[in-house]
Structure 1
Amino acid sequence: MRQAFLTLCLLSAALAPIYVGIVFLGFTPDHHCRSPGVAELSRRCGWSRAEELNYTVPGPGAAGDAFARQCRRYEVDWNQSALGCVDPLAGLAANGSHLPLGPCEDGWVYDTPGSSIVTEFNLVCANSWMLDLFQSSVNVGFFVGSVGIGYVADRFGRKLCLFVTILINATSGVLMAISPTYTWMLIFRLIQGLVSKAGWLISYILITEFVGPSYRRTVGIFYQVAFTVGLLVLAGVAYALPHWRWLQFTVTLPNFCFLLYYWCIPESPRWLISQNKNAKAMRIIRHIAKKNGKPLPASLQSLRPDEEVNEKLDPSFLDLVRTPQIRKRTLILMYNW
């Protein structure tokens, strides 16, 4: 099952842009208020970038902290002819801290090339909470999706759930990249959160159910290593693509390729047996044994396709706390997470 393991590890790496993509998608560069007339005055006076900022942007002393420099501007008509090129505000007040300050009514100027959702939707100053909401939405999706996917996967199968989550994740990621407004972007980000972590968990379950108990720890560790590799790749891609929409496209489109796994990844034999679908389970087990060059395990040779049982157990959340042993393990894992 090395083929299935390696292909599913790519899914783990693909979660990295959703999990920590906010670092690049929501990058907040240095910024200051846009003031009409400043650009023309700077051009006429031949100011350097540093001189323009020094003459026209409030310093920390103007309001006691750096907030004034980023979120306040001098209430000055920069088009008036009385302003000189050397310390233009000197004739209006003896000290710049005495000049009235106002909000950034004409937007902001950002000091870094490229773009992020912060620079495109101006998620700074009074709107900075909207960036926190953007990341909170995906975390809420992680929580809800992670709680519900176990029941859904037990009911409908690991393979079906995996490919449904991949399709929804890829589609919502592309729609987020072309969202015209912040609200639509937030909605698609929430949908990504609902299905992406759920798909990651289903992939992990498939990997551990394909191997024996002695290999589960090893494959689990390497599955997490693949996620770390995804983080490293994301940093390189974000460096090459400083515009958030192109970055979002680039990290999302490969997810559509994962749909081809439908012909590569079998259903979990353990789940099929739990659903009394022994015939399908035996076909997959024999295929796996043949691919691995191993004989069929003795414990499974007694399993017969015609030994179907009419009664099967329905999954329930109560199974997590039904016995003292499973209850202890559930609480330990919840605490660790």
Structure 2
Amino acid sequence: MPTLDDILEHIGGFDLFQKRAFFVLCLLSAAFTPIYVGIVFLGFTPEHRCLSPGAADLSTKCGWSLEEELNYTVPQGEPDGETFSGQCRRYDVDWNTTGLSCTSPLESFTNYSTKSSILLTTCQDGWVYDSLGSSIVSEFNLVCEDAWKLDLFQSCVNVGFFVGSICIGYMADRFGRKLCLLITILVNSVSGVLMAFAPSYTWMVIFRLLQGLVSKGGWLTGYILITEFVGLSYRRTVGIVYQVAFTVGLLVLAAVAYAIPHWRWLQLTVTVPNFFFLLYYWCLPESPRWLIAQKKSDEAMKVIHRIAKGNQKRHQVFPYCQIMAY
């Protein structure tokens, strides 16, 4: 009995049908990029310093430039060894005190003659970020003592990749490549949109974890599906190009992130197109190799007919239909 590879040699191992299927699946591969490396843009840490109540008003009153304001009100290179102490510490003084000098404001405080003798405190009133856009770091203040939360955010994604790849790989073998692919696309799209509207850091991590659980498994399912559509001699090529599409996605993501510097809008922009991948329900058939492995020869022949028709070689599949039916 002829194998599927024998049939593909006659109806086209990588003809028009497979090329179209390959193209639409490469779009899926490129769309996986924002989840894998999105932390670079979503979690960008801008230059920041402690918010000192009254310092901005004093700066306006004295007519300081930004450089002068930072020099007078932000600690730099303190003796405690904190090279960038201004990012996580501020002077423990009241800038609203009347009578402060505009040339040496710190000397106006009783018993304080030098910067090194002034006590420091934590950023109790928040931070000031020098950025035109926003990121999850600036919105949820993931700096200083809470900087570890940014690492946790990405770690949850990686854990999702690991667990999801195993579970979804099993699901793809048990229930079919196409069904598994569609489910992962749906969950990935919905959780990505919900993340864009997450009201807190905790909810954001939960939705990102869901994306991690399904996105890598969905990407692998797409990889398996396209390699099972093509002839044996084309598998290596489509596998490599499928991964190259991921690299193309990196370039597109960088351009989109440059144009949209606000993380919520960026997340929404890179997520919404994923809903169009649900059209795979009509664009792609089930893997004929999986159907044959599941003893579903009739359904496999329908897919082979569809491939032959798409390759305009429908008449060449008839002899094999009779043999497989037998």
Task: Answer 1 or 2: higher relative contact order, Cα 8 Å, separation at least 6.
Answer: 2
Residue type of the alignment partner of 1:119: S
The residue aligned with 1:41 is 58
Residue 242 (str. 1) matches residue 284 (str. 2): no
Residue 121 (str. 1) matches residue 135 (str. 2): no
- Residue 63 of structure 1 aligns to a residue whose secondary structure is coil
Q: After superposition, give the CA deviation of every residue in 1:166-203 in whole Å (9 maximum; x if it has no partner).
A: 00000000000000000000000000000000100000
Q: After superposition, give the CA deviation of every residue in 1:44-88 in whole Å (9 maximum; x if it has no partner).
A: 001111111110000113532334110000000101113110021
The residue aligned with 1:76 is 93
CA contact (8 A) 1:278 1:303 kept: no
How far the C-alpha of 1:90 sits from its partner, in A, is 2.6
5+ residue gaps in structure 2?
1-17
CA contact (8 A) 1:286 1:296 kept: no
Alignment of 1:150-299 (within 5 A): 150-294=169-313, 296=316
C-alpha separation between the residues in 2 aligned to 1:298 and 1:19?
A: 45
How far the C-alpha of 1:296 sits from its partner, in A, is 4.4
C-alpha separation between the residues in 2 aligned to 1:185 and 1:17?
A: 15
Change (3 A) 1:246 1:36: same
C-alpha separation between the residues in 2 aligned to 1:299 and 1:113?
A: 66
C-alpha separation between the residues in 1 aligned to 2:186 and 2:67?
A: 49
Alignment of 1:57-136 (within 5 A): 57-92=74-109, 93-136=112-155
- Residue 101 of structure 2 aligns to a residue whose secondary structure is coil
Residue type of the alignment partner of 1:244: W
Change (3 A) 1:26 1:303: farther
State the 4+ residue runs in structure 1 displaced beyond 3 angstroms: 293-303
CA contact (8 A) 1:63 1:97 kept: no
Residue type of the alignment partner of 2:139: E
5+ residue gaps in structure 1?
308-337
C-alpha separation between the residues in 2 aligned to 1:62 and 1:296?
A: 83
Change (3 A) 1:50 1:299: farther
CA contact (8 A) 2:223 2:242 kept: yes
Change (3 A) 1:303 1:185: farther
Residue 55 (str. 1) matches residue 75 (str. 2): no
C-alpha separation between the residues in 2 aligned to 1:79 and 1:245?
A: 35
How far the C-alpha of 1:134 sits from its partner, in A, is 0.4
Change (3 A) 1:215 1:130: same
TM, length-normalised to structure 2: 0.91
Q: After superposition, give the CA deviation of every residue in 1:117-165 in whole Å (9 maximum; x if it has no partner).
A: 0000000000000000000000000000111112111110000000000
How far the C-alpha of 1:251 sits from its partner, in A, is 0.1
- Residue 105 of structure 2 aligns to a residue whose secondary structure is coil
CA contact (8 A) 2:305 2:317 kept: no
How far the C-alpha of 1:303 sits from its partner, in A, is 4.6
How far the C-alpha of 1:297 sits from its partner, in A, is 6.7
Sequence identity (%): 67
Residue type of the alignment partner of 1:237: V
How far the C-alpha of 1:286 sits from its partner, in A, is 1.8
- Residue 304 of structure 1 aligns to a residue whose secondary structure is helix
- Residue 110 of structure 1 aligns to a residue whose secondary structure is strand
- Residue 31 of structure 1 aligns to a residue whose secondary structure is strand
CA contact (8 A) 1:269 1:281 kept: yes
Residue type of the alignment partner of 1:157: G
Change (3 A) 1:124 1:300: farther
Residue type of the alignment partner of 2:52: S
How far the C-alpha of 1:98 sits from its partner, in A, is 1.2
